[in-house]
Structure 1
């Protein structure tokens, strides 16, 4: 992005797109665990408001690409780690992760009940010869 004084100021959407592309790049981009530039520093460098960079980082966090850790910064998340399970995850992904875990537990219990019912019915039904 051009950070000269006469260049048009990038929008949050454009900043997010730049980092999205760099995170997705197989080489030369950001890797899991890499820290993105501090929002205040990047805002100054690009000549935009701090809220513009924070909004861009928020978009990336909501997409599950980065984690924000209070006082530490914004980091590229490891895609092999389930969404919503690490500190700094998007609250929406954390809630979704908890809901999926609850559904998984309910399905497991239902499966166990079905197995028991099949055993009971199998023991009561006379076998054809």
Structure 2
């Protein structure tokens, strides 16, 4: 049974748009590289015949995956993969929160390491720790 042309031309979903751009960013022959700006969401929505929210959702998925940064008023850009996630303006709020938490954990581990070194020196010298 043959489908009508209208039935075959369904507008893409946010998931499909995200998958398309994921391939254009990370595929074997990427169209977009570090720092490149993705098409404006409003124009892309019009070109694809979808609602603006659909494109924004697709770009949000890519941002949450750490592939792009969104800068309000400027657009959506391919992020530099050499920089730690969550450290750039426009990063996913989840990655920014994770980066802050990891920094706190790193500092706590550093302090614990210093305390352990001090205790090992005390035990190695056979002296009693001072109160």
TM-score normalised to structure 1 length = 0.90
Matches within 5 A, 1:60-79: 60-79=62-81
Residues paired across the two proteins, number: 121
Matches within 5 A, 1:27-42: 27-42=29-44
Q: Distance in 1 between matches of 2:103 and 2:35?
A: 25
Whether 2:73 is the aligned partner of 1:54: answer no
TM-score normalised to structure 2 length = 0.89
Give the CA RMSD over aligned residues.
Answer: 1.3
- The CA deviation at 1:26 is 3.7
Whether 2:76 is the aligned partner of 1:98: answer no
- The CA deviation at 1:25 is 2.1
Q: Distance in 2 between matches of 1:24 and 1:62?
A: 15
Residue number in structure 1 paired with 2:20 = 18
- The CA deviation at 1:27 is 2.7
Q: Distance in 2 between matches of 1:53 and 1:28?
A: 20
Q: Distance in 2 between matches of 1:102 and 1:28?
A: 36
Q: Distance in 2 between matches of 1:26 and 1:84?
A: 26
- Structure 2: gaps (5+ residues): none
- Structure 1: gaps (5+ residues): none
